[in-house]
Amino acid sequence: MAASPHTLSSRLLTGWVGGCAWYLERRAVQEVPHTFMHLFRSINKQWITFQHFTFLKRMYVTQLNRSLNQQVKRKPEPVALPFLEKTSLGQAKAEICEMRPLPPPSLPLSRKPNEKELLELESASIIEGSLDAGKETKDEKHWKEMKLHLDDLPGILARLSKIKLTALVVSTTSAGFALAPGPFDWPCFLLTSLGTGLASCAANSINQFFEVPFDSNMNRTKNRPLVRGQISPLLAVSFATCCAVPGVALLTWGVNPLTGALGVFNIFLYTCCYTPLKRISIANTWVGAVVGAVPPVMGWTAATGSLDAGAFLLGGILYSWQFPHFNALSWGLREDYSRGGYCMMSVTHPALCRRVALRHCLALIGLSTAAPVLDVTTWTFPVISLPINLYITYLGFRFYTDADRKSSRKLFFCSLWHLPLLLLLMLTCKRPPGARGAGAEPQS
């Protein structure tokens, strides 16, 4: 049976459409992997571009805020003042130099600042305050040479001569003169006091002249005139010479040669023995005690012209009194003496320092008891002086056992009023000239 033309044409059309569909389907199947790979590569390139963009953005932010990285320091907590107080001045300056002040970042008004931002603001204010404090401290501690004015010269010379120490020396000399037997000679007393004061001023001025490099390292002595440059060394030596020559002349020709010789000996002992020995051995304390014991002996020899047992008794009292006085003082100045390079018992032999102070507190009781035996005072003096001697001995014992600043301070301040009161009691109980050697009490 023959096919109709219509049927044949429909079959040909269906075959052609199927072939086209088959061709397109095969072509699509072959192109899918290439298209997928192309699409994957395009997406991969876009992802890498986005990653680089993120990295560049991060680098830009880091470079823009580089100074924020300098705030990272290991600190317990952001507190301003204690961290500056606990560190030394050099460490604080080093930390301040590493940190740079930052302007407080502006916060948007639409949100509240969180805790991290508040800490950053507080740390920025701390850095600025630290820099200001460092500048003020540097300005305050900057050493400046002082200019000499004529109006300030008397005060400068008074500090150069250690006027308070000189007043103590003159008072002990006056006590020795008053306790000596015989009538009280006012012109001789005035010459003795003036000559002793001038000799003391000369010795103290020469002492400061020799100790300028060492005094500059100590807080107690760093403001002395020669250290600050208020006067020149030539002026200091000239002042010492102008005090020593007339002082020794008054004691030698105005009083007697024995007193003048003691004055020269004391100046030599203080300037040429005690002063250099302070940096060599602890024996300087004993030598210095001899220097302090000579002035009452000079007062006694000025009144009597001879060295008697009473003169050595007064010298012994001053000698023993200086150990609790100076050892207690040096105990609180151990750091200063170490910086100055001075060899003191309180620094190198602290146990010996306390033991010697207690030993000489007990010696004061024995010397007070020996005063009536040597016909210097009546027997009333050991009795009425016993309470103050026992009190200073008690403080010396506390200083020996406690070994702290509090006990040393109490002993030092007690020594300041103990010596004047002890000498005043001796003057009150002085044996009259007619009763010497007879053992009789003074008549009221």
pLDDT in tens, 180-226: 998 889 999 999 999 999 999 999 999 999 999 898 889 888 999 99
Tens of pLDDT, residue by residue over 89-101, are 455 444 444 444 4
Model pLDDT, residue 433: 73
pLDDT at 401 over 50: yes
List Cβ neighbours of 162 (8 Å cut-off, separation of 6 or more).
200, 204, 208
Which of 16-25, 164-173, 319-328 has the lowest average pLDDT? 16-25
CA 102 to chain centre: 35
- State yes or no: pLDDT of 125 exceeds 60: no
Give CA separation, 429 vs 249, 300, 316, 391, 443, in Å: 34, 17, 18, 20, 11
Task: Please report the domains of the chain, with CATH numbers, ordered by start residue.
Answer: 149-281 (1.10.357.140), 308-432 (1.20.120)
Contact, 385 vs 366, CB < 8 A? no
What does the pLDDT read at residue 132? 55
Count CB-CB contacts under 10 A for residue 86. 9
Residue 167: Cβ within 10 Å count: 12
Confidence of residue 148 (pLDDT cuts 50, 70, 90): low
pLDDT digits (tens, 9 = 90+) for 410-421: 999 999 999 999
What's the mean pLDDT when you consider all of the chain?
Answer: 79
Residue-level pLDDT at 149 = 73
pLDDT-based confidence at 278, cuts 50/70/90? very high
The more confidently predicted of residues 234 and 146 is 234
pLDDT digit string, tens, across residues 38-57: 555 554 444 445 555 566 66
More confident residue, 301 or 341: 301
User: Which pLDDT does position 84 carry in this prediction?
Assistant: 41
Question: Residue 367: which of 303, 359, 435 has the closest Cα?
Answer: 359
**What is the tens place of the pLDDT at every residue in 63-79?**
555 544 444 445 455 54
